[in-house]
A and B are shown apart, each in its own frame.
Chain A
Amino acid sequence: MDTPLSWIKAFVPDLECTDREFADAMTLSGTKVEGYRRLDKNLEKIVAGKILKIEKHPDADKLIVCQVDVGDFTTQIVTGAPNVKEGDCVPVVLDGGRVAGDHDGGSPENGVKIKAGKLRGIESNGMMCSIEELGSSRDIYPEAPEYGIYILPDDVEPGTDAVKYMGLDDTVFEYEITSNRVDCYSVMGIAREAAATFNLAFRYPEVKETGNDEKCSDYISVEVKDPDLCSRYIARVVKDIKIGESPDWMKKRLRACGIRPINNFVDITNYVMLEYGQPMHAFDYSTIADKKIIVKRAKDGDIFTTLDGVERKLDSEVLMICDGQKEVAIAGIMGGENSMITGDVKTVLFEAATFNGTNVRKSARRVGLRTDASGIFEKGLDPNNAYFAMERACSLVEELGCGTVVGGSVDVHSDLPRPKRIKFEPERINRFLGTDISKEDMIAYLKRVEVEYDPASGDLVCPTFRQDLLGFADTSEEVARFFGYDRIPVTLPSDTESMGRLPFKIRIENLAKDVAESFGFSQGFCYSFESPAVFDKLRLPSDAPERKAITISNPLGIDFSIMRTLPLNGLLTSLSTNFNRKNKDVKLYELGNIYVPESLPLEKLPDERMQFTLGFFGEGDFFSLKGVIEEFLIKAGMNKRPHYDPDSNRPYFHPGRQADISYDGEIIGYMGQIHPLTCKAYDMGKADVYAAVLDMPKIIEKAVFDRKYSGIAKFPAVTRDISMLVPKAVLEGSIEDMIIQRGGKILESCTLFDIYEGNQIHPDFKSMAFTLVFRNKEKTLSDDEVNAAMKKILNGLSSMGIELRS
């Protein structure tokens, strides 16, 4: 919504303030000013000049030399403009002045300074201006020539301030209007807020009663067949139409709002729409069959040509304005080609109506046509305002002399909204706001926005254009706005006793971050939705459960269309970005949800599972990644030995370098080297990439922060090293399992310290060496005890086909 300050001042005549003061005050009272621009920014020393004489430039074919009367004196200006002739009155920027635009249509920040000089040897003391140089455009000055100087009317006195004359000594403010303030999508609504903000009188426009002796109802009847979608339909008729130009004051206001003046009739409908926030429509009365307007839903599949010449497909939820035989407009959206005003219109049927906002919005979307009018209607308008707008339009018709208004109107409506009554509770308002405002002051603030206090009932009575005022909280806000949000005291909730707390889940997640970072992994953020093509990149078979993903019905595109069921894609994509930007040794982790549906299509909310995902390329290998996982588990108080099952068969991993990670008999995650084909699919064909995923809900079930001190060993340990030949197929983990199990209570630790495969060893075997540490916490171990344990272990080894080496 854009409004020129001059138009606001027409409603609030006593308003005196700078642009900045206006913007700040309006913003602080709730009408947020997004920005403002002076129309005469960079326009200096520009006057009306009359061209007295034109001569050819002696040395340049395309230039002419003009003698221009600029009021106090006559000056010589050389121009290349093709359109000026002797006697024309034009805007002239004098020596030392400034214009907003340059020759190439640009508008530099500080404009263009104009100085006297010579053009091809001939003196030129200024410049005649095009509309672009005046900082505007042909969009809203359609009469301006495409190339050349903007011509002012002949009767402008030379020397007149051209900026003022053209109404450019004004500031246009742009507002952010919130959806609850439909009334502020109008100059009047904003002016009303301005009056309240500055506590000044608000003056309604002068609206005269209009109409001749005839009766509108003799011209037209109106039937609303679908009153659920049309709360009011007012029709009036104007005959003996005289299409012509609108007066300057109206054109200036329209232009300042960015609307191009067209002719008096069209301009009036636009003007009233801006002023009252009520869109109006004008039909050529001669095209309306059977003197009848019928408002009803369209039929599915109806085709209708709107006045922009485009065929629109309708359905049974689109409300149409029809005459006795045909459809003539899409209600609230756009009129039809078949009934539009043309240059030779004699009689006009004026419409001011209110429609169901939601229906207009949805219809506009389905029909594929969002107009200025529909944009306003969809907010849901006040039927009472439609009446005032119609009266204003007809009054302007008479004032501008563009036709004869037929007496009366045809006005069909259901129950009109009545002023809402809200109980006035000043003490409660003060409690709610934390203020100490007197009842009288509150009443005065509310009166500024036409909310009246009725002492008899103790109610506040709200005008119907304020559809947002419904209860206690709303009236509190009105009081707060005009008391001033900045004057409300600053306190803290004093009675509320509470404990600040991070839930256990987040504490464990924070721990995961700390551990990952201590190992050099940096945190990434990845999207929750991705492309179904991800499953192919990860080589998941067609029946993989991960492919059962939730689909977004209206995604931004196929690449963002499914909710991820496993977290690898995001991290691999990020690693690929880094790899292809030649970043070295990149380690990333992510904490983010996957979304596992119970069934599809989705009936209940899915299981959102937080995944702790780590991935890297460059320095490191499977075991360094395993180290991160195990350090994390230990920090999370999970001190039992995790197990690694190499038969995890995950297609996105190297078949010989992957494992499911289990703890306490339950799978808590998986890890491995990314399969070369998956790497290739992520444009990392040459990288060795490793990744691990931990399922945080499982971790959170098992994690504990409690610790118990178990004493520091006082008695000496006994250390035994064993070196062995192990069949290649035997896993180190299973040897450790066996040793730990057979070593019993006195086995403190079992550590692999050497592993060798190669020349000195039989090709079916590998050499391994462990250090075993035995200790009894209560006493010094005897050799017998250690030997007994060792014997069990050695028996175990041999049962696994393992030979001891000497």
Chain B
Amino acid sequence: MIMDNLQSIQEKALKQIEEAGALDALNDVRVAILGKKGELTSVLKGMKDVAAEERPKIGTLVNECRDKIEAALEDAKERLESAAMDERLKREKIDVTLPADKKALGHRHPNTIALEELERIFIGMGYEVVEGPEIEKDYYNFEALNIPEGHPAKDEQDTFYINGDILLRTQTSGTQVHEMEKGRLPIKMISPGRVFRADEVDATHSPSFHQVEGLVIDKNISFSDLKGTLALFARELFGEDTKVKFRPHHFPFTEPSAEMDVSCFKCHGKGCRFCKGEGWIEILGCGMVHPHVLEMSGIDPDEYTGFAFGVGLERIALLKYEIDDMRLLYENDIRFLNQF
């Protein structure tokens, strides 16, 4: 009798569980069957009427029946919860193509980007970055660099003077002298900085611009070291397939001196408007430090040799970022700066 009853409870419960379409319906089923006044609970309450020898058997059956129902309830709950979540996720669908909520970051100036690029490359090669004064003594800007009073190079550079002895530096090369005078050898440094020349503002000139000076001094530094270093630099800056060409030139403080061209990174040397059909673009001046310059700064040219180079930062920035007018660099129009 009880067993039949159990059977029908179980069947009914399983059916109701299967039919329950929502979590509260499922809960109603739980209360109706397993609750305090539930059907299965009342079966248990009826156990006192069962013969003692039957009780363990019936008890086991009741427990089995409850386990089954509970398992079915649990399954159904999971199923319904998962369906509910699917439903919610579906509702929460967004249009991922709507505009981004961007925080407007600022932009570095192209000069700085170029400078940091140079610094990265030379620091990687073991160079220390040092700085020198922008308002400078004549001695450091000229005389100690083999440009004595009356030297044509002194006039060519259209120097701004404060007075007879103090000027706005026309080149970063003076830092070479400051470094050498420290008397710490070997030297391996680059020195970026602002320089000044009395040029009127136009598309290719500015009365103030920036250079990066380089200097290496040690025993046995050779012209081939200069070539190797700068070729490596050019490849790193302009791309792995960049070729370099060294042309003899003249600077008072280096001998031999050279200008370095790189193969045009737009046309790869074929010749284009960018390189004025040459296939090459002039990038920097360099040379072996003049023995007299070493001597003046207290370094024995019979024992030490070195090389130096100077890069125009704006020139690199204009070339690399294809900027066609130098004035843009000092206007600070946000529509220009935002492009970097």
Chain B residue with Cβ nearest A601: B163
Shortest distance from the beta carbon of B285 to any chain A beta carbon, whole Å: 11
Q: A474-B255, A499-B128, A605-B136 are in contact. Are A523 and B248 (CB under 8 A)?
A: no
- Are A553 and B163 touching (Cβ within 8 A)? yes
Does B168 have its Cβ within 8 Å of any Cβ on chain A?
A: yes
- Quick one: closest B residue to A430, CB to CB? B222
Binds B, one of A260-268, A431-439, A645-653: A431-439
State whether A513 and B108 are in contact (beta carbons under 8 Å apart), knowing that A506-B129, A550-B162, A605-B166 are contacts in the complex.
yes
A500:B108 contact, CB within 8 angstroms: no
- A794 part of interface (Cβ distance < 8 Å): no
- 9-residue interface stretch from B65-73, B81-89, B119-127: B119-127
Which residue in A503, A560, A578, A602 is a CB contact (below 8 Å) of B166?
A602
Given contacts A30-B247, A490-B227, A522-B106, contact A553 B111 (CB under 8 A): no
Would you call B320 an interface residue if the criterion is a C-beta within 8 Å of the partner chain's C-beta atoms?
A: no
Assess the A587–B126 pair: CB atoms within 8 A.
Answer: no
Tell me, yes or no, whether B266 is within 8 Å of chain A by CB: no
| A241 and B133 alpha carbons, distance in the complex (Å) | 62
**Are B186 and A500 closer than 8 Å at their CB atoms?**
no
* A428 CA / B22 CA spacing, docked (Å): 96
| CA of A180 to CA of B248, assembled, Å | 12
Q: Which residues 103-143 of B have a CB within 8 angstroms of A?
A: 103-109, 111-112, 116, 119, 122-131, 133-137
CB contact under 8 A between A554 and B305, given known A485-B246, A520-B105, A525-B111: no
A587 CB contact (under 8 Å) in B106, B116, B198, B256: B106
Q: How far is the CB of B123 from chain A (nearest CB, A)?
A: 3
- Cα(A481)–Cα(B255), bound, Å: 12
Q: In the complex the two chains form, is B109's CB within 8 Å of A493's CB? A: no
**Contact (A606, B135) CB under 8 Å given A496-B186, A498-B128:** yes
Cβ–Cβ < 8 Å partners of A323 in chain B: none
Contact A551 B162 (CB under 8 A): yes
Contact B229 A503 (CB under 8 A): no
Residues of B near A587 (CB, < 8 A) are 106
Q: Are A361 and B152 CB-contacts (below 8 A) given A492-B232, A498-B188?
A: yes
Tell me whether A552 and B166 are in contact in the complex, defined as CB-CB below 8 angstroms, given that A490-B228, A517-B108, A522-B334 are known contacts: no
Instruction: Please determine whether A492 and B228 come into contact, CB atoms closer than 8 angstroms.
Output: yes
> Interface digits, A18-56 against B, CB 8 Å rule (1 contact, 0 not)?
000000000111101000000000000000000000000
Give the distance in Å from the alpha carbon of A588 to the alpha carbon of B105 in the complex: 11
B259: nearest residue on chain A (CB-CB)? A32
| Complex contacts, A520 vs chain B, CB 8 Å | 103-106
- Find B288's partner among A473, A499, A552, A563 (CB 8 Å cutoff): A473
Q: Does A595 lie at the interface of the complex (its beta carbon under 8 Å from any beta carbon of B)?
A: yes
**What CA separation (Å) do A468 and B247 show in the bound complex?**
18
A496 touches B188 (CB 8 A): yes
By a CB distance below 8 angstroms, the chain A residues around B163 are 553, 601-602
Kindly specify which of B29-37, B41-49, B56-64, B212-220 makes contact with the partner chain: B212-220
Contacts of B225 in A (CB 8 A): 434, 491-493
Docked-complex contact A522 and B337, CB < 8 angstroms: yes
Question: Counting chain A CB atoms within 10 Å of each CB, which of B156, B256, B288 scores highest?
Answer: B256
Q: If the complex has contacts A522-B107, A556-B207, are A586 and B156 also in contact, measured as CB distance less than 8 A?
A: no
Complex CA gap A49/B119 in Å reads: 67
If A473-B288, A500-B128 touch, whether A577 touches B331 (CB-CB below 8 Å) is yes
Set of chain B residues within 8 Å of A519, measured between Cβ atoms: 106
Cβ 8 A contact of B332, one of A179, A476, A525: A525
Interface centre among A181, A477, A589, A608 (most CB of B within 10 A): A477
Is A759 in contact with chain B by the CB < 8 A criterion?
no
Determine if B153 is an interface residue (Cβ-Cβ < 8 Å). yes
| Nearest-CB residue, chain B, relative to A589 | B106
Return the chain A residue nearest B207 by Cβ: A556
Give A478-523 interface residues, CB cut-off 8 Å to B: 480-481, 485-486, 488-493, 495-503, 505-506, 510, 513, 516-523
Whether A473 pairs with B123 at a CB distance below 8 angstroms is: no
* Complex CA distance for A379 and B153, rounded to whole angstroms: 10
Interface size on B, residues (CB 8 A): 86
Cβ contact within 8 Å between A32 and B257? no
Chain B, Cβ-Cβ closest to A595: B135
With an 8 A cutoff between CB atoms, is A286 at the interface?
no
* Contact A525–B222 (Cβ < 8 Å): no
Give the distance in Å from the alpha carbon of A395 to the alpha carbon of B247 in the complex. 38
Which listed residue (B134, B160, B292) contacts A608, Cβ 8 A?
Answer: B134
B221 near A493: Cβ-Cβ < 8 Å: yes
Interface: A287 (CB within 8 A)? no
Per a CB cutoff under 8 Å, which of B128, B216, B250, B335 touches A180?
Answer: B250
Q: Are A500 and B150 in contact (CB under 8 A)?
A: no
| Minimal beta-carbon separation of B131 from chain A (angstroms) | 7
Considering only residues 444-467 of chain A, those with a C-beta below 8 Å from chain B are: none
Judged by a CB distance under 8 angstroms, whether A358 is at the interface is yes
A378 to B208, CA, bound (A): 28
Query: A112 to chain B: closest CB distance in Å?
Result: 23
Of chain B, the residue at the smallest CB distance from A614 is B106
What residues of chain B lie closer than 8 Å to A563, measured between beta carbons?
A: 135, 168
State whether the Cβ of B161 lies closer than 8 Å to any Cβ in chain A: yes
Q: Does A528 contact B (CB under 8 A)?
A: yes
Q: A30-B249, A525-B332 are in contact. Are A554 and B198 (CB under 8 A)?
A: yes
The verdict on B258 contacting chain A, using a C-beta distance below 8 Å, is: yes
Q: Quick one: which of B200, B229, B257 contacts A556, CB cutoff 8 A?
A: B200
Asked if residues B152 and A491 are in contact (CB atoms below 8 Å), the reply is no
Q: A13 in the interface, Cβ–Cβ < 8 Å?
A: no
Chain A residues contacting B127 (CB-CB under 8 Å) are 498, 500
Question: Chain A's nearest CB lies how many Å from the CB of B130?
Answer: 7
B309 interfacial by beta-carbon distance below 8 Å: no
Is the C-beta of B95 less than 8 angstroms from some C-beta in chain A? no
> Closest CB of chain A to B44's CB: distance in Å?
47
Please give the distance in Å from A636's CB to the nearest CB on chain B: 18
Please measure, in the bound complex, the distance between the C-alpha atom of A496 and the C-alpha atom of B222, giving whole angstroms: 12
Q: Which of A361, A435, A526 contacts B224, CB < 8 Å? A: A435
Contact call A496/B216, Cβ cutoff below 8 A: yes
Q: Is B316 an interface residue (CB 8 A)?
A: no
CB of A529 within 8 Å of the partner chain: yes
Please indicate the chain A residues that have their CB under 8 angstroms from the CB of B186 in the complex.
496-498
Q: Please tell me if the beta carbons of B248 and A29 are within 8 angstroms of each other in the complex.
A: yes
Most buried by A among B125, B135, B332: B332
A to B CB contacts below 8 Å, 17 in the list: A32-B249, A179-B152, A361-B155, A378-B152, A473-B288, A480-B256, A481-B256, A486-B246, A496-B126, A499-B128, A518-B106, A577-B333, A578-B334, A587-B106, A605-B136, A605-B166, A608-B133
Residues of A within 8 A of B (CB): 27-30, 32, 178-181, 357-358, 361, 378-379, 431-435, 468, 471-474, 476-477, 480-481, 485-486, 488-493, 495-503, 505-506, 510, 513, 516-529, 550-556, 560, 563, 574, 577-578, 581, 583, 586-589, 592-593, 595, 601-602, 605-606, 608
- Residues in B lying within 8 Å of A, measured CB to CB: 103-109, 111-112, 116, 119, 122-131, 133-137, 149-150, 152-153, 155-156, 160-163, 166, 168, 186, 188, 194, 196, 198, 200, 207-208, 216, 218-225, 227-229, 231-232, 245-250, 252, 255-259, 288, 290-292, 305, 329-335, 337-338
A-B pairs, top 5 by smallest CB distance, nearest first, are A434-B224, A30-B248, A500-B123, A434-B222, A178-B250
Starting from the known contacts A358-B150, A500-B122, A527-B208, 12 additional A-B residue pairs (CB-CB under 8 Å) come to: A434-B225, A491-B222, A493-B188, A495-B219, A498-B126, A516-B106, A528-B196, A529-B196, A578-B333, A605-B133, A605-B136, A606-B135
